[in-house]
Structure 1
Amino acid sequence: MIIGVLNQKGGVGKTTLSLNLAAAYATSGYRVLLVDADPQGSSLRWSSARAEDVKPLFPVVGMAKPSIRRELPELAKDYDVVVIDGAPRVTDLGRAAIMASDVILMPVQPSPFDIWATEDTVQLIREAQQFKPSLKAAFAINRKIANTAIGRDVVDAFTEAAFPVLDSQVCQRVVYAESAVQGLSVVEAAPTSEAAREIKALAESVIKFNKPERKAA
């Protein structure tokens, strides 16, 4: 399964979600590859921040080029799950990452403004589905503020969204930044934390979302 994590809007935690999802799958026994398709190279920098004596959970490779569409499927054969940390803007690179994916995950903060900002990305996905009907897409609530009105009513903000919203939501927590500085994921730095629980739940939600629907007998 190839999961493309994409959103043209900045500040939604795209890289944080990508690397932590990859870690959640890796600690669950999957063979995982994280692909940094963002020219900024944030996932690669995160990987290089890891202490030399700490074994990585998964490899991280840079592939910020439009040829990712052609090259990644062959590379993905050696892994159960591939997570693409996609480019933040609508470019040929973004289009190529979408076409290389089986599932597109769009991280958004619980705000109508975030939904409106995804319009260009949604349009790209719709276009890609014309050529790749099996492509699925969903929103993932990220950086939710716990115990607030907008946090409680978050689903209502997405009632008219173009794609479904996954049930599992990820809250804004300091441990994400603290772990990233060390080149770690939250499931490594704080395995019993609420952050780790939320990320694992989201990872499982993506698996379930990607399962083929059973046809009626």
Structure 2
Amino acid sequence: MIIAILNQKGGVGKTTLSINLAASLARSGARVLLIDADPQGSSLDWAAMRQETPLFPIVGLPRPTIHKEIAQIGKDYDHIVIDGPPRVTELARSAIMAADVILIPVQPSPYDVWAADEVVKLIQDAKIYKETLISFFVINRKITNTAIGRDVGEALAAYPIPILDAAITQRIIFAESAAQGKAVYEIDQTSFAANEIESLKDALLKETNP
């Protein structure tokens, strides 16, 4: 399965989700490749911070030919996660055309909901050529016990894309793990953060393999 994580708005936790989802898939025994398609190279920066043996390989591919190259690059892997660019560009279109599934991380903020509009339009355009393309919103950096955390689901209901039944809460451990080049489960595999990532992976696999 090829999973692209995309949102034109920066700072939504796209790279954090990409890394930890890839780590969760790899932890289950799958062969996983992470493609860093963000010109900022945040996933590659994470890998450079790591002292331990890599959990999975990371390839930098910030060019709009991902959909043409991915069959060759990813031929030896069970899953490929694409950490997409932070803007709607030809690079984003290429990532969408390469993917089987698009995850759109959205923070519980009106600005994030509004910003999702452009990537939703890109996905709808891509489905003309790729009818099997699946997409989900992922509520990320949710703040517990707040009205805005609850209301974001209602706001996203206006879009023709479902919300994945697994939200990720704002937690310090995500920043701590990133600074060490680790996945959250490597910091504390019993943590709420690690459990939420596992739930995200399980929900994604359930939706794509009913």
TM-score (norm. length: structure 2): 0.96
Identify the residue that residue 215 of structure 1 maps to in structure 2.
none
Give the equivalent residue in structure 2 for 1:26.
26
Counterparts of residues 30-41 of structure 1 (less than 5 Å): 30-41=30-41
TM-score normalised over the length of structure 1:
0.93
Q: State the superposition RMSD in angstroms.
A: 1.2
Give the alignment partner of residue 97 of structure 1, picking from 95, 99, 113.
95
Q: What per-residue deviation string (whole Å, max 9, x for no partner) do you get for residues 35-84 of structure 1?
A: 00000000001001001xx1111001101111111111222221111100
Counterpart mapping for 1:119-138 below 5 A: 119-138=117-136
1:169 aligns with 2:164: no
Query: Residues 101-159 of structure 1: CA distance to partner in whole angstroms, max 9, x if unpaired?
Result: 00000000123331211111111111111001011111000000012222244422322
Report the Cα distance in structure 1 between the residues aligned to 2:208 and 2:121, rounded to whole angstroms. Answer: 20
The aligned runs of 1:81-160 (5 Å cut-off) are 81-160=79-158
Give deviations 1:153-178, integer Å, cap 9, x for gaps.
44223221220001100000000000
Is the contact made by 2:4 and 2:102 (CA closer than 8 Å) also made in structure 1? yes
Q: 1:65 aligns to what?
A: 63
**Letter of the 2:36 counterpart:** D
Runs of 5+ consecutive residues of structure 2 not aligned to the other structure: none
Matched length: 210
Distance in 2 separating the partners of 1:139 and 1:42: 21
- Distance in 2, matches of 1:156 and 1:120, equals 19
Q: Structure 1: where are the runs of 5+ without partners? A: 213-217
After the TM superposition, which residues 173-192 of structure 1 pair with which residues of structure 2 at under 5 Å, given as runs? 173-192=171-190
* Paired residues of 2:113 and 2:152 also in contact (CA < 8 A): no
| Secondary structure class of the residue paired with 1:166 | coil
1:11 match: 11
Could you tell me whether the CA contact under 8 Å between 2:32 and 2:77 is conserved in 1?
A: yes
2:112 and 2:146 map into 1 onto residues whose CA distance is 17
Secondary structure at 2:102 match in 1: strand
Write the distance in 1 (CA, Å) between the matches of 2:157 and 2:6.
21
Distance of 1:136 and 1:38 partners within structure 2? 21
User: Displacement, 1:207?
Assistant: 1.2
